[in-house]
Amino acid sequence: MLNWFNLKQTISAFEKEASNIVDKRKLTHLFLILLDKILKIQSGYVFLLDKKNESYQAVTSLNYPDEAKKPVSHTTSSLLDYYSTLPYFSFEEDLVKILTNKEKLLSEEDLRKLSGVTLEKLKMLKASLCAPMIIKEHLIGFVLIGEKVNKKAYSQFEFSFIQKLADVAAENLEKILLYREVAQNLQALESAYKQLQEYVHIIEAEKEALEQAYLDITHTLVVTLEARDTYTRGHSDRVVHYARAVARQLNLPPEEIKKIELAASLHDIGKIGTRDRILLKEASLTLEEQWEMRQHSQIGANILSSLGFLEPIVPLIRGHHEKWDGNGYPDGLKREEIPLGARIIAVADAYDAMTSNRPYRKDMGTQKALNIIKSEASIQFDPVVVQAFIKVHEE
């Protein structure tokens, strides 16, 4: 029996599993499987926004053909032809307009009030309910659900469960769309990089322009990330500034300094996969939210590792939250096991975080931040890096 306790457990389990999925079909398939497991539905379809064709297209389905007991799922590329046979819903159709304006689940009674082609499509899909998937007032998709196998009517409690599950799916779909956008941009940039590299072999003078292009690329990615959070706007630029100063203080070679600058500018790129409600939360994070936030160094490393020209900075991105005493994450590295560039970025990142306003606390001031940095030498931070950082501030 569905009650508030197992509803919360189910939604929490879905939220946790969905956070690790980066494919929209896998996510929506899991969503429908879970609905079927709890409510025993006869059919289900997820439609997602297709901006290019100005419509909502089916991406996943789950249905019980005839009297079969087991569901038939359509989630693989080999069944894309199946989805092309399903109807689509244009921006101008009543269903889309109602979902966009009301932003709430539509019951069977609501659906019956629709007319024309839209009603025929809903009848074809045997839809009894329609739950919107909305992010920031934009309808990114919706789910059509058939009646239950036992033919019983859906209760208001079940309505709430379906909509809450659809909301969680929408949050994670937004993350997947961001991943895809970043991946597409990075692929385009890598292609551009390879073309530029060919010219470098021919015209040595273009080497300087190519290096500047890399920096412009990273700046664009950082601006895209920081646009989501006004509190951290300019954070990466400041971390670059501090990291560069420390690297020079340590008399590192120019090429190593450039690598550290590049890594510092992209150190938080993995937060592109962190949901806004966690990234911008003013209260303390729960243990689950802390776990998700801590994934950003791994996610950033994964995003950049596929690009050849950024490969040298991947260990710095992955390791900038490791600690000198081995109690950091994600790999629990300690002392010199942590790349020097990551150790430098760790101090610069921590200092700027402490001296900036954040949703959860205000700027604590320069002197207090420096005292904390000093106290964490040989614990959280490399003592040599701390000494260099303090010397830079004194000068």
Reply yes or no on whether the pLDDT at 1 is more than 60: no
Give 395: exposed, middle or buried? Use CB within 10 Å, 0-12, 13-18, 19+. Answer: exposed
Residue pLDDT, tens place only, 58-76 = 888 876 443 333 344 444 4
Cis amide linkage into residue 87, ω under 30° from 0: no
Average pLDDT, the chain: 81
Strand 55-63 and strand 72-74: the pairing is: antiparallel
Which whole number is the average pLDDT over 28-56?
A: 87
Which pTM does this prediction carry? 0.53
Q: What is the pLDDT of residue 360?
A: 59
- The closest of 344, 346, 129, 148 to 244, measured between CA atoms, is 344
End-to-end CA distance of the chain: 68
Give 46: exposed, middle or buried? Use CB within 10 Å, 0-12, 13-18, 19+. Answer: buried
Q: What is the pLDDT of residue 191?
A: 81
Residue 12 — very low, low, confident or very high, per pLDDT cuts 50/70/90? confident
Which whole number is the average pLDDT over 243-270?
A: 92
Q: Residue 137 is part of a domain; what is its CATH number?
A: 3.30.450.40
What are the backbone dihedrals phi and psi of residue 154, each rounded to the nearest 5 degrees, phi first? -75, 140
Same domain, 263 and 383: yes
Residue pLDDT, tens place only, 191-222 = 887 777 776 666 655 556 666 676 577 667 66
Q: Is residue 185 part of a domain?
A: no
Question: How many beta carbons lie within 10 A of that of residue 324, not counting itself?
Answer: 25
Same domain, 132 and 259: no
Q: What is the pLDDT of residue 222?
A: 67
Which whole number is the average pLDDT over 168-178?
A: 84
Q: Is residue 194 part of a domain?
A: no
Residue pLDDT, tens place only, 76-115 = 444 455 556 677 888 778 888 888 777 688 888 888 888 8
CA–CA separation, 269 vs 319, rounded Å?
Answer: 13
Contact by Cβ (8 Å): 181, 269: no
Q: What is the pLDDT of residue 67?
A: 34
Q: What is the pLDDT of residue 212?
A: 66
**More confident position, 120 or 92:** 120
**More confident position, 169 or 86:** 169
Q: Is residue 180 part of a domain?
A: no
Contact by Cβ (8 Å): 115, 94: yes
Residue pLDDT, tens place only, 341-394 = 999 999 999 998 888 866 656 778 889 989 999 999 999 999 999 999 999 988
What are the backbone dihedrals phi and psi of residue 63, each rounded to the nearest 5 degrees, phi first? -150, 165
Q: Which residues, 6 or more positions from 264, have their beta carbon under 8 angstroms from its beta carbon?
A: 236, 239, 240, 243, 244, 345, 348
- 3-class SS at 172? helix
Contact by Cβ (8 Å): 44, 143: yes
Same domain, 384 and 300: yes
Same domain, 55 and 115: yes
Q: Is residue 195 part of a domain?
A: no
Q: How many residues does the chain have?
A: 395
CA–CA separation, 132 vs 124, rounded Å?
Answer: 19
Q: Which of 117-126, 204-213, 264-273 has the lowest mean pLDDT?
A: 204-213
**More confident position, 239 or 228:** 239
Q: What is the pLDDT of residue 377?
A: 93
Q: Residue 233 is part of a domain; what is its CATH number?
A: 1.10.3210.10
**More confident position, 331 or 5:** 331
Same domain, 154 and 209: no
Q: Which of 127-141, 212-226, 229-243 has the lowest mean pLDDT?
A: 212-226
Q: Residue 55 belongs to what domain range?
A: 4-172
Q: Is residue 178 part of a domain?
A: no
Q: Where would I find the H helices in the chain? A: 4-18, 24-39, 80-85, 94-102, 108-112, 116-124, 156-202, 206-226, 235-249, 254-266, 276-279, 287-293, 296-305, 314-319, 340-354, 366-375, 383-394
- 3-class SS at 298? helix
Give 355: exposed, middle or buried? Use CB within 10 Å, 0-12, 13-18, 19+. Answer: middle
Q: Is residue 390 part of a domain?
A: yes
CA–CA separation, 75 vs 61, rounded Å?
Answer: 8
Same domain, 139 and 282: no
Contact by Cβ (8 Å): 133, 185: no
Contact by Cβ (8 Å): 173, 20: no
Residue 184 — very low, low, confident or very high, per pLDDT cuts 50/70/90? confident
Q: Is residue 55 part of a domain?
A: yes
Q: Is residue 186 part of a domain?
A: no
Q: What is the pLDDT of residue 14?
A: 83
**More confident position, 87 or 142:** 142
Q: What is the pLDDT of residue 384?
A: 96
DSSP secondary structure letter of residue 361: B
